[in-house]
Every structure is written in structure tokens, then in C-alpha cells.
């Protein structure tokens, strides 16, 4: 027990887990990070980071047997031959779908921080106020003002590119130089602005170093080269990941221990002491069980795995899962609706082109039900669009001189628009543990029952109507709707199940991400979210994590957590 004793334990090494480790270590706590997957070291373990397509056995395509064996992960846009080693295979880690749900996972040191889309937008005050105003979830126990300084804190360290816009619906942050829109995107922006007074079109904000500062260079990171190979692991450290940033920073303190191949079985609740004392794991390779102990536990296993761990943390005091007197653990899971898209063509600008492979799109903050309920559906959606020209070498003409000339110039402009819709947390959207099926480590399989509802369909319809109208006014032609009909989960933005709130009867966590009934346990990954907003969530997880660690350490020094 003494050799396995730490000041703090962090479960998970992804975006929020990396931040918890960094903050705890920098505040002087001997910290153990438990990661269920293999070890991945920055640079050393990015085997395809500079590979050309012809250097891969299948020219960066997934072979048929893999597609048949792993249908869920094969539906993920980032899963290819050059990135497959960073993704969980369906066949190796099964789960139960009561309703269709595509659970995309990355089990390795760094987690999904190696394969995330890197889009980072702050929430606005309207997002934190939304549930209380509209009545679709319990009231958030915090407001934008509580999180704003922590947004700034993590943004400066991460490195966020963006433009200063002064919007109350999408607050500005601590930005590096913004990426630039191309000529057609600017033309669409200009025309939408002229046609609407509630539609703000701005360049996307993303965790890419356009102009590295000293804080980034000190991490060993360099400028983003716009190569569009991010999901392989970046040799420049040009985008933020746990592997290139927070974990190395934590290691420099001398206070970090990382134990990969550690499948967390449950948190240990001591009925006599009336507190959580540690974490029980099963070694991924040897299948041997062991226990680790600490005064404070940060649970950052990713939203659904965090729910699984808490549901499986059973004791005499908590027979239905840790802290689950209310019975709502695992309930009110929500996600983002990505189903809708619109394609169009744009005439003109044939003498214009663009540079590089920009890692972000043009975006428009939500304009539906922002300050009050106005529509026949709850909440709304963000909108993203990009414009580009068909690539070289695709002209369909006969061989000869015409072929050479046609394929020496890019094709016409096209426009792609997509939605990111907020879904409403519902009790019927939930996860439970299988009563009779277990994985190879003896842990119950997660049983997922999450689906779209009528509200999601209404948001989808509104996106189509408004998107077509905006693109028409912007001068687009040949406008076509698309519905991916993808299952929930493929958005990879699952949230909730261990939500924050003011009342222990209706929430699991308080305003500092601290469990109401297990005060030395903090949850700061997606499981903590009371509602989803319309923004990409990762920067909010980071800010909430840094804030929660600051609070936890102060409480430990006061003797309130021990």
C-alpha cells in the first residue's frame, strides 16, 4: 500500500486528464496517471507522421477485412491506414447498443488528444444560462464569469488561433494570429453580413500554433505547417495534444508517474472511513489486479468510460454506483447533431486560389433561441462552411494536349456547409452496465441507449432552410442537401451522465466538478457537462479541469479534502 500511495491519481491521459496531471504536478502533488492503453511518447511513437501514401501497404486505405470486422470505427472520418494505430478496434473492445450508437475511442497515452479535430470555441453566458432560462436541463451551478479567467489561462498555454470579433454569443479569447478565409469564403461572408443582422461569420478558432510564443517554444513545440496530417501525430507539435504539451510539462516537475496498460475497474470506497481511498485496476496485458491510493482522485477517462467506472464503483454505502443516491448516474447523456450538410457550387473567381491546408473552417455562432425561446424547438446549432476548388488532375477529358492543359489547372469552386446542433439531455438517453456480459478484464460491458428525438429533427430542418437561404443570398448555385443519417456517437462529442448542478438530488457534481457525496473525487471530462452548447467542447473541459484542480488543492491545504 505504501509503494502504491500518491497525493493524487488521474484516471485518463487525454485532453482533460493531461491538464489535471499538469496542474496537480505543478502544484507539488505526487501524481499518478492511469491510462488503460499503451504508452505513446511524442515523436517516438508517431510511426506514420512523415510517411508518403506509397510507403503504406494499402496506400492509406483501410482493407476490406478491417472494414467488416470494425464497422463502427471505420465510419470515423479520421480513421485511415496512417492513423488506425490510434483508434480502438470494435472487435477488441465491445459494447452493447440498445440503440445504434457509434462509440469512437482512442486508448493510449494521450487518448483522443492525438486524433481530435482541434476546434476551440468558448461558451458564452447564454450557454451557461440556457437550461435555467429554457428549462431543458438542471441549472448550471456556474456562469461564464466563473470560467472566463480559466479559459484565458488554458488558451495561453495551448495556443489558440483566432480573430477578435467582440461577439457576446462567442466570446473572444487569448488568440494567436488567425487563419485566413479564401476569396470565395470572404465573398459569402460579406453577402451574409449584408443580408442578416443576427448572423456573424468569422474564421474558425483552433488549437494550432500560427505564431508560437515563448510558452509554446518552452514546451518544445513549433509552428503549424498546414500539412493536414494531424491525426498521425505532429512532428512539429504544431497542434495541442497531451503528448506534446501537458504531460511533458507535468513530467518536468518530477512529480509525475504514468502507468499505461492500466484498465480501471472501479474507485475504492472505504465504508469505515466514509471516503474514496483509491483506484482498483486490472493490468491490460497480465490481467493482474492491483490498487493505488491517493487523497484526491480526478476522473478523466472520457465521458462514457467515466460513467462506466462510477457505475461499477459499488460499495455497501453506494450499491448503485459511487455517489448515486439520486439514481441519475449514467442518465441525461447528450451529444452533438452532425447529420445535416449542404453542398453548392460557386461561379467566378477562376483566377484566384489559396495556400496550404488550413486546419479550421469558417464558422457562424448559433443564432437560434440565444437570448429567449423563439422557435418551436429548444436551443440551436453552430454552422460551419468552407469553399475550395476541385483538385488538379481530375478533369474528365480525352488524353493528349487537352488532357494536359485541363489537368494543369484547378477546377471550379464548390462550397460545403455543415451543422453542429445541440441535443437536449433526457433521462431516456442513458448508459448502464450489462448484468451478464463482461470484457476480458472482468469489467461489465457498457450498455448504451441514446437516440435522436423530435427536437433534433426540427433543428435539422431549420438548418436546411436557413442554410439554403443564406447560400442562395451569397450567390451559390446548384444547392443540394445531405443527411448522413449517422448514429449518435459518431460526432465524438458525447457528454453528461455525471452532470454538474446545485442539488445532489438532481446532479452528481457541484460547481467545482466535485462529487456531492464523495468530495475527494472530481470529474472534469465530458461526463460533467450539464448541457452541450453548440460549440466544440474540448476547451471548456480544459478550463473546468484547471479550475477544479486549483480548488481541490486549496481545499486540501485547508484540510477539507484528505
Q: Where are the alpha helices (DSSP H) in 227-383?
A: 247-252, 303-311
Examine the pLDDT at 463 and tell me if it is beyond 70: yes
pLDDT interval class at 435 (50, 70, 90): very high
Q: Confidence band (pLDDT; 50, 70, 90) for 391?
A: confident
Q: Decide if 158 contacts 542 (C-beta within 8 A).
A: yes
Mean pLDDT to the nearest integer, 186-203: 97
pLDDT at 1 over 70: no
What SS3 class is residue 317?
coil
CA distance 132 to 124: 14
Give the pLDDT band (50/70/90) at residue 398: confident
Q: Which single residue is written with the C-alpha cell 460557386?
A: 346
Q: Under DSSP, is residue 46 helix (H, G, I), strand (E, B) or coil?
A: coil
Which 3 state secondary structure label does DSSP give 204? coil
* Residue 212 pLDDT level (bands cut at 50, 70, 90): very high
Whether the pLDDT of residue 399 is over 80: the answer is no
> Under a CB-based contact definition with an 8 Å cutoff, are residues 207 and 239 in contact?
yes
d(CA 336, CA 495): 9
% of the chain residues with pLDDT over 90: 95
With beta carbons less than 8 A apart as the criterion, state whether 181 and 190 touch: no
Mean pLDDT along residues 64-88: 97
Residue where the block lists cell 512539429: 236
**Residue 145 burial (C-beta neighbours within 10 Å; 0-12, 13-18, 19+):** exposed
State yes or no: pLDDT of 333 exceeds 90: yes
506 pLDDT tier (thresholds 50, 70, 90) = very high
Length of the chain: 562
**What's the gap between Cα 163 and its chain centre?**
22
Whether 399 contacts 388, CB under 8 Å: no
Q: How many degrees, rounded to 5, is the angle at CA 214 between CA 206 and CA 32? A: 75
Q: Name 212's bridge partners.
A: none
Q: In whole angstroms, what is the distance from residue 133 CA to residue 186 CA?
A: 35
Kindly state the DSSP code that residue 139 receives in the 8-state scheme. Answer: P
Three cell numbers, residue 146: 466563473
Cβ-proximal residues to 495 (8 Å cutoff; 6+ apart), any chain:
303, 333, 334, 335, 526, 527, 529, 532, 537
C-alpha to C-alpha distance for 205 and 69, rounded to whole angstroms: 36
Cα distance between residue 518 and residue 299, in whole Å:
12
Look at residue 402 in the predicted model and tell me its pLDDT: 79
pLDDT for position 55 = 95
Work out the mean pLDDT of the chain and round it to a whole number: 96
In this prediction, residues 461-481 reach a mean pLDDT of 98
**What total number of domains does the chain contain?**
1
| pLDDT (0 to 100) of residue 394 | 65
Nearest 10 degrees: Cα torsion 344, 348, 351, 354: -30
Between strands 31-34 and 256-259, the pairing is parallel
DSSP 140: P
The whole-angstrom separation of Cα 294 and Cα 26 is 17
Q: What is the DSSP letter of 176?
A: E
What are the cell numbers at 115? 486524433
CA atoms within 13 A on the CB side of 97: 13
What does the pLDDT look like over 214-257, one tens digit per residue? 999 999 999 999 999 999 999 999 999 999 999 999 999 999 99
* DSSP-assigned beta bridge partners for residue 289: 282
Residue with cell 431516456: 428
Cβ-based burial of 223 (10 A; exposed 0-12, middle 13-18, buried ≥19): middle
- Separation of alpha carbons 75 and 22, rounded Å: 33
The pLDDT of residue 2 is above 80: no
What's phi and psi for 494, nearest 5 deg? -65, 140
The average pLDDT across 359-375 equals: 97
pLDDT band at 406 (very low <50, low <70, confident <90, very high): confident
CB neighbour class for 254 (10 Å; exposed up to 12, middle 13-18, buried from 19): exposed
Name the DSSP letter for residue 472.
H
pLDDT in tens, 4-23: 999 999 999 999 999 999 99
Q: Find how far residue 551's CA is from the centre of its chain.
A: 24
Task: Give CA 195 to chain center in angstroms.
Answer: 33
CATH of the domain at 265: 3.50.50.60
Domain that holds residue 299: 5-558
* pLDDT at residue 344 greater than cutoff 80: yes
Q: Which residue has the cell 486524433?
A: 115
pTM of the model: 0.97
Amino acid at each position: 500500500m505504501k509503494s502504491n500511495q500518491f497525493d493524487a491519481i488521474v484516471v485518463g491521459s487525454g485532453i482533460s486528464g493531461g491538464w489535471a496531471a499538469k496542474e496537480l504536478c505543478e502544484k507539488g502533488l505526487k501524481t499518478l496517471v492511469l491510462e488503460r492503453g499503451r504508452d505513446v511518447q511524442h515523436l517516438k511513437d508517431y510511426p506514420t507522421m512523415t510517411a508518403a501514401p506509397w510507403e503504406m501497404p494499402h496506400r492509406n486505405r483501410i482493407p476490406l477485412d478491417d472494414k467488416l470486422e470494425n464497422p463502427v470505427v471505420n465510419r470515423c472520418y479520421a480513421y485511415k491506414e496512417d492513423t488506425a494505430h490510434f483508434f480502438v478496434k470494435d472487435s477488441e473492445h465491445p459494447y452493447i447498443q440498445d440503440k445504434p450508437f457509434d462509440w469512437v475511442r482512442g486508448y493510449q497515452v494521450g487518448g483522443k488528444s492525438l486524433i481530435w479535430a482541434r476546434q476551440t470555441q468558448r461558451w458564452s453566458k447564454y450557454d451557461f444560462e440556457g437550461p435555467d432560462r429554457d428549462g431543458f436541463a438542471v441549472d448550471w451551478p456556474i456562469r461564464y464569469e466563473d470560467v472566463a479567467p480559466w479559459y484565458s489561462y488554458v488558451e495561453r498555454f495551448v495556443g489558440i488561433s483566432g480573430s477578435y470579433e467582440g461577439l457576446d454569443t462567442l466570446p473572444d479569447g487569448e488568440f494567436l494570429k488567425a487563419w485566413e478565409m479564401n476569396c470565395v469564403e470572404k465573398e459569402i461572408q460579406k453577402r451574409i453580413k449584408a443580408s442578416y443582422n443576427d448572423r456573424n461569420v468569422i474564421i474558425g478558432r483552433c488549437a494550432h500554433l500560427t505564431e508560437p510564443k515563448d510558452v509554446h517554444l518552452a514546451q518544445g513545440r513549433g509552428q503549424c505547417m498546414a500539412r493536414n496530417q494531424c491525426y498521425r501525430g505532429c512532428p512539429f507539435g504544431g497542434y495541442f495534444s497531451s503528448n506534446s504539451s501537458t504531460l511533458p510539462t507535468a513530467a518536468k516537475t518530477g512529480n509525475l508517474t504514468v502507468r499505461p496498460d492500466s484498465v480501471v475497474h472501479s474507485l475504492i470506497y472505504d465504508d469505515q472511513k466514509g471516503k474514496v481511498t483509491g483506484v482498483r485496476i486490472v493490468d491490460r496485458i497480465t490481467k493482474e489486479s492491483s490498487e493505488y491510493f491517493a487523497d484526491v482522485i480526478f476522473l478523466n477517462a472520457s465521458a462514457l468510460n467515466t460513467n462506466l467506472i462510477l457505475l461499477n464503483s459499488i460499495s455497501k454505502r453506494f450499491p448503485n454506483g459511487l455517489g448515486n443516491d439520486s439514481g441519475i448516474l449514467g442518465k441525461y447523456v447528450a451529444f452533438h447533431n452532425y447529420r445535416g450538410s449542404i453542398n453548392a457550387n460557386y461561379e467566378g473567381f477562376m483566377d484566384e486560389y489559396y495556400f496550404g491546408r488550413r486546419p479550421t473552417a469558417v464558422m457562424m455562432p448559433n443564432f437560434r433561441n440565444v437570448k429567449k425561446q423563439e422557435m418551436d424547438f429548444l436551443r440551436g446549432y453552430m454552422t460551419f462552411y468552407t469553399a475550395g476548388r476541385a483538385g488538379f488532375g481530375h478533369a474528365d477529358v480525352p488524353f493528349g494536349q487537352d488532357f494536359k492543359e485541363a489537368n494543369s489547372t484547378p477546377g471550379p469552386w464548390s462550397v460545403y456547409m455543415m451543422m453542429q446542433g445541440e441535443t437536449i439531455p433526457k433521462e431516456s438517453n442513458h448508459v448502464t452496465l450489462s448484468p451478464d456480459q463482461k470484457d476480458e478484464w472482468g469489467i461489465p460491458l457498457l450498455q448504451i441507449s441514446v437516440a435522436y428525438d423530435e427536437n433534433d429533427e426540427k433543428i435539422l430542418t431549420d438548418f436546411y432552410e436557413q442554410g439554403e437561404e443564406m447560400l442562395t443570398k451569397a450567390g451559390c448555385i446548384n444547392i443540394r442537401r445531405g443527411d448522413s443519417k449517422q448514429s449518435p456517437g459518431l460526432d465524438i462529442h458525447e457528454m453528461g451522465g455525471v452532470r454538474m448542478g446545485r442539488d445532489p438530488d438532481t446532479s452528481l457534481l457541484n460547481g467545482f466538478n466535485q462529487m456531492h457525496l464523495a468530495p475527494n473525487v472530481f470529474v472534469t471530462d465530458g461526463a460533467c457537462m450539464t448541457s452541450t452548447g453548440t460549440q466544440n467542447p474540448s476547451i471548456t473541459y480544459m478550463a473546468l479541469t484547471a479550475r477544479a484542480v486549483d480548488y481541490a488543492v486549496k481545499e486540501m491545504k485547508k484540510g477539507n479534502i484528505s
